[in-house]
Amino acid sequence: MRYVSTRGAAPAVGFTEAVLAGLAPDGGLYIPDAWPTLAPNAIAAFAGRPYAEVAADLIGRFTGGEIPDADMAEMCAEAYATFSHPAVVPLTQIAPGAFIAELFHGPSLAFKDVAMQLLARLYDHILGRQKRRQTILCATSGDTGGAAVEAFRGRANVRVVALFPEGRISEVQRRFMTAADEKNVACVAVAGTFDDCQAIVKDAFQDNVLRQAVDLSGVNSINFARIAAQIVYYFTSAVALGAPHRSVAFCVPSGNFGDAFAGYAASRMGLPVTRIVAATNSNDILARAFQDGRYARGGVAATQSPAMDIQSASNFERLYFECVRRDGVETARAFTAFAEMGAIEIPPQALATMRELFTGVAVSEAQTARTMTATLNETGQMIDPHTAVGVAALQMVGDLGAPVIAFSTAHAAKFPEAVQAATGQTPALPGSVAALAKKPERFDRLPADAAAIKAYVRAFAES
């Protein structure tokens, strides 16, 4: 298996190279040259197997033989042993035909752990073999940074710089990053939005001098290994509800579209998925794109679900590439225009293809709060505001002709202010992380300026 760039102007590479590079050198995103497919009996055979084994099987199909199967099995076993629930991603029922898949049982209490715990082990494995050291630069809307710091802190071959938008993430989210005292971790509060942070990361990746000087790598959801790891829980949760004999639908709280795109991949791989609802908060670029066919940036508003305060959904480029029949020249044209003008029209045929699988729904702040309260009253379950966006969207779209699985992407205790404001109750932090509140914080502050941040990254990597 080889990985091609969505912009068609970079050479195809193998799995390990695609993982270490993050973004392709032509500014595109790597995507497999063909999707592996599973026959129904292979999917049915996942029933009852431990999560880590299903993960090793599915992710192993993307490595093109570059990682020995036994090593992949060991890395998956270790990665998912860090989760506090033996099922790793358990399902609970919230209404007839409606379920929640709890993706938040990892060390930083958000779904980013599912991919990041594996990614850190993959990096260690690959870099160790290559006797190489890399610098990971990551922009975070709140949860990626914490998951990356949790997964990579103290690892010998990697330094991590996490950029977060100052004042736009929750205190608990911030503490998951800033409490780390390992020397290979640096956190930077950027005076700007998440989109600013993400643009600076893209700028850094296109700076070949910096890229080589610090051996730059990225673990944002532009990294295909994250997508591969996120495909797994689509399979395990669907199989738990009777797939492949029965179809299922998913409702995915979306920001950068990495999680929802993994669902597209699962569907291409043979999982019977009737529909994927991409649920956004009032930062609704994705919802509008599927509704109107115009992918157009708006201003970023701060909401109760900050991990989704995004108006430039990186992974949408992967779906676009697929839906323009893998035309790299057209994808490059469109996303260069988007970067310059902030808006593109989706070609009608591509939009029709997207709509065969995706529905976009935007959820208001009031609906999000009401859904937290209603879910608590009706089921006794306290859900976080991101999950509430998904559950609200599930209720808004109505019958999808199949059981619906809404992803619960964060533990309620990661957003105590929002949960308390909506429900009047304060979720307790699990014991394992309650100590965070007392740890000293360590971070630097910088303006939203690419040159300043690149100089900082270089100095840190060379220190």
Ligand X SMILES: *Cc1c(COP(=O)(O)O)cnc(C)c1O
Q: Does 410 bind ligand X (CB under 6 A)?
A: yes
User: Burial of 291 by CB count in 10 Å (0-12 exposed, 13-18 middle, 19+ buried)?
Assistant: middle
Strand partners of residue 211: none
What does the buried/exposed string (b/e) look like for 183-222 if buried means 16 or more CB atoms within 10 Å of the residue's CB? ebbbbbbbebbbbbbbbbbbebbebeebbeebbbbbbbbb
**Binders of ligand X: how many residues, by CB under 6 A?**
18
Does the protein bind ligand X through residue 259 (CB under 6 A)? Answer: yes
108 binds ligand X (CB under 6 A): no
Q: How far apart are CA 213 and CA 63, in angstroms?
A: 27
- Cβ–Cβ under 8 Å, residues 372 and 386: no
The interface region with ligand X, picked from 37-45, 252-260, 356-364, 372-380 by CB under 6 A, is 252-260
Q: How far apart are CA 140 and CA 451, in angstroms?
A: 19
First to last CA, the chain: 38
Longest dimension (CA), the chain: 57
Contacts of range 239-243, beta carbons closer than 8 Å, 24 or more positions apart:
239/43, 239/44, 239/46, 239/47, 240/47, 240/91, 241/91, 241/99, 241/403, 241/405, 242/403, 243/43, 243/271, 243/272
Binding mask 138-167 for ligand X (x = CB under 6 A): -----x------------------------
Cβ of residue 383: shortest distance to ligand X, in angstroms?
11
Footprint on residues 187-246 left by ligand X (CB under 6 A): 221
Verify binding: residue 254, ligand X, rule CB under 6 A. Answer: yes
Residue for token digits 């004999």?
Answer: 245
Torsion of CA 69, 73, 76, 80, to 10 degrees: 170
> Residues 253, 270, 360, 427: which binds ligand X (CB under 6 A)?
253
Residue 156 CB, shortest distance to ligand X, in Å, is 27
User: What is the DSSP annotation of 285-349?
Assistant: HHHHHHHHSEEE--PPPP-S-GGG--SS-TTHHHHHHHHTTT-HHHHHHHHHHHHHHSEEEPPHH
Residues in 372-391 at the binding interface with ligand X, rule: CB under 6 A: 386
Pick the closer one to ligand X by CB: 112 or 159: 112
We find the least distance from the C-beta atom of residue 391 to ligand X, in angstroms, to be: 12
Question: Which one of 112, 202, 414, 454 is the catalytic residue?
Answer: 112
Query: Nearer Cβ to ligand X, position 207 or 364?
Result: 364
Contact flag: residue 110 with ligand X (CB under 6 A) = yes
Rank residues 168 and 211 by Cβ distance to ligand X and give the closer one. Answer: 168
Q: Closer CB to ligand X, residue 166 or residue 259? A: 259
Interaction with ligand X in 278-307: which residues (CB under 6 A)?
Answer: 307
Q: Is 308 in the site for ligand X (CB under 6 A)?
A: yes
- Known active-site residue 112: yes
Rounded to a whole number of angstroms, the minimum distance from the CB of residue 153 to ligand X is: 19
Cα–Cα distance measured from residue 368 to residue 264, given in angstroms and rounded to the nearest whole number:
25
Residue 184 near ligand X by CB under 6 A: no
Residue 409 sits in the site that holds ligand X (CB under 6 A): yes
Residue type for 60, please? G
Closest CB to ligand X among 148 and 190? 148
Unique residue bearing structure tokens 């619960």: 408
Which listed residue (256, 281, 303, 375) binds ligand X by CB under 6 A?
256
Q: Which of 255, 270, 328, 427 binds ligand X (CB under 6 A)?
A: 255
Min separation Cβ 452 and ligand X, Å: 26
Closer of 143 and 166 to ligand X (Cβ): 143
| From 112, 125, 153, 454, residue interacting with ligand X (rule: CB under 6 A) | 112
Half-sphere exposure of 425 (CA within 13 A, CB side): 16
Tell me which residues are annotated as active site: 112
Residue ranges in contact with ligand X by CB under 6 A: 110-112, 143, 221, 253-260, 307-308, 386, 409-410
